[in-house]
Structures are given as structure tokens and as C-alpha cells.
Amino acid sequence: MNKTIWYVTKYFSPKTASSPGGRGWFLVDEMQRAGYQVVVISSDSNNLVDLPVLRKRVTLQDIDGVKIVWLKTMKYTVAKSLRRILSWFHFEWNLFWLDKSRLPRPDVIIISSLSLLTIINGLLIRLKYKSRLVFEVRDIWPLTIVEEGGFSNRNLFVRGLGWLERLAYRKSDAIVGTMPNLAAHVRSELGCERPVFCVPMGVSQDHLSDVADLPVDYVERYLSSNKFKVVHAGTIGITNALDVFFAAAQAMREHADIEFIIVGDGALKESYEKRYGDLPNLVFAPKVPRNMVQEVLAKGDLLYFSVHDSKVWDYGQSLNKVIDYMLSAKPIVASYNGYPSMINESGCGVFVPANDVDAVVAAILDLKFKGEEECSQMGSRGREWLLQNRNYSKLANDYLSILFPGDAQ
């Protein structure tokens, strides 16, 4: 009889007509293909992805053999809001009262954060079914909201989340993080060792094949120059730490053969345009659909990635942006002080200290000096490493060895 996995998370990005899906989908799809029965339990209150419109409190869906249980949950539009927290509690209430007798009995339950509240239901489900419990960390809370959200460690909400986090680390049979150095964080929180594994973000065959051409007029207007192009593609917001990118463009305004291109939209785009819009070496290009991102990156010569100097990154990163960048086979300059991974492992770029404009400028000039052939070889190393080490078939197999350590994969 096939073993059954329950993947429980408030936020899940399934495969749809308009999207190939997210990390969770690719993993459970591969697990199902490997012969395991997979049940996903999630909510419809994720406003970042295309989800079915629910008419009932519980909706069952089957996508390519993966069973998905959708729980109708309170919606919200602002991430930092009371409604978001209430939506978390609403999901837990509906999960608690869900008629689980209609579902195949789980051999292992994965509780994937956010929300941290779900660990309570996870512990109750494990008690009922005598199954294994795996706690998956996709974002380290409450550390993230303390470091980057302006919350105090003394805040009662933060303290409550911290208690839930430590409970999850103590009581789970295994801990899985998308970040490579999560074990150090768990050790600092508990003061002892726990079984911690890394199953990071990856690349899927669907993403490789889902590529569309850019409109001709878009290319001509924003990407047609023969200059050495330094490109940043993605959201233009507070968490993206783009002040250094613009400061580097300003510092290099006299380099007529180098051009900075920022592609995307976000809350800070207008203010950056007002402040730096007159720079002759800076181009603001509109956001493109996800399936056109690779075409944008292919027009660049060097890709730029940055984050704020935060303790969150001490435990490593596994970000979609870095995956996209490496997939494009272009060299990368990363303004990043955290635990290094991927870029250094593959040799596809360089890390420079966060918030150091001079270091960014020096790295750009150095890579430009290396020439087209060497930069091409550097970028190709990143793509080859990614396809070999971060394909979802391999990652799902790694995950299954954690879920069922006694089974030969």
C-alpha cells in the first residue's frame, strides 16, 4: 500500500492554467510521481497567486493526481494588518474542524510555515494518527519581522510567535528549511542540536519550457543599446535594498559604455524615478510577465542582486530571484553579508559587502574588464550547477529520504 503524505500550509501555489506552480507544488507533484499519495491542505487567502474561487467552506480538487483540500478563509490585501492575523486563526479553526476521515490516513505530516500557528494542528494530527511530523521553514519567523518589519522582541505577538517556533523545533521529528544554515538558528533558539535539513528552492521543467518572447517595441525602447548592461529585475520595494544599485549608477554616470537597467514595479519606483530619473546611464523598464523574465535577463551582461544587512541572512538564502538569475547563464554581483551559497558554490558571480557602493562599482568594473568570453563562462557555470543540483526531481527525492528515512529511494 502506498504511503501517504499530508502537506499542510496556509499558503500554497498550485499548478493552474496561468501558472506552472510554486516550490510546494513541484515537490508534491514529484512525490506523487514517485508513487506516494499526497494530500495538500491549504487556504484560498493567498492574494499573490491564482487560486480557485471557493463557494463552500471545504473544496476538494485533484490536479494531476495530487489531492488538494481548499479551506475557505478570511481574505486580506495588506500583509502587515490585523486581518492577516485573523485569517491565520480562521484557517486553523477550519483545519481543526475539517472532517479528516474523508482523507487517506497520513504516514507523515509536513507543516509548512507560514503560519506558525499550524504547528498546533500538526501536533494534534500526529497524536491522532501516530504519524511522523516534519516542520518546514520557508521564512524564519519571528526573526524576519523583528529584523525587517520593525517589531520589538518584547512585543507580545512576537513573543507568542517565538514560543510557537521553539515548540515546533522541539516537538517535530525533523525540521526542513529552504535556507542552508537553518541548523545554526535552531541551535541558537533551543540551545541544543535537532535534526535539520535543507530542501531549497529549485527549478522545474515547466519553468524551463514556459518562456515567451518580449514585444519588439519593449526591446527596442529599453534593451537595445550596445552598452554593458547591469540589470536588476524584480520588485522595487523596501526589502529589495536598491539604494546601493542607484548609488552605484550615480557614481558611474561618467562611464558612457555602462548602463544600469531596472526592470519591475513596486512601492518605491516612483520615488526612485524622481530622484535618479535624470541619470544618463539609468533605464527604468516596466514589469514583464514571469514567462518573459528570462528574455529580459538574456539581454543583460551582468545581473545585480541585493538584500539589507540583516540577521535573517545569517542562515542563508534560497530566493526565486537568484534561481532566475542563475538560470539565465549570466554572471551575478550580490550585495549580501549573509551565509553564502549557490553563487559561490557554482562560481557564477561574486559577493560584495551589503551597502558598500564602492565594492559594487569595483565588482562591475572587474567583471566588465574580464571580457565577454570569461563572463559567459562564469554565467554558464551557474546554469549548469543549478540544473544539476536544484532540479525538483532531485530535491523531492532528497525530501522523501527525510520523510521516510528507512525507505530506499
Those residues whose C-beta lies under 8 Å from the C-beta of residue 47, and which sit 6 or more positions away, are 75, 76, 77
The tens digit of pLDDT for each residue in 128-177 reads 999 999 999 999 999 999 998 889 999 999 999 999 999 999 999 999 99
User: Domains along the chain?
Assistant: 4-199 (3.40.50.2000), 210-389 (3.40.50.2000)
pLDDT classification of 80: cutoffs 50, 70, 90: confident
Q: How many CB atoms lie within 10 A of CB 295?
A: 18
Which residue type is seen at 197?
Answer: F
Q: What DSSP assignment string belongs to 287-330?
A: ---GGGHHHHHHT-SEEEEE--S-GGGGG----HHHHHHHHTT-
The tens digit of pLDDT for each residue in 226-253 reads 999 999 999 998 889 999 999 999 999 9
Lowest mean pLDDT among 65-74, 76-85, 105-114, 190-199: 76-85
Q: Give CA–CA dist 220/230, Å, rounded.
A: 17
Cβ atoms of 383 and 342 within 8 Å: the answer is no
Cβ atoms of 382 and 349 within 8 Å: the answer is yes
pTM, two decimals, is: 0.92
- Across 93-101, average pLDDT: 96
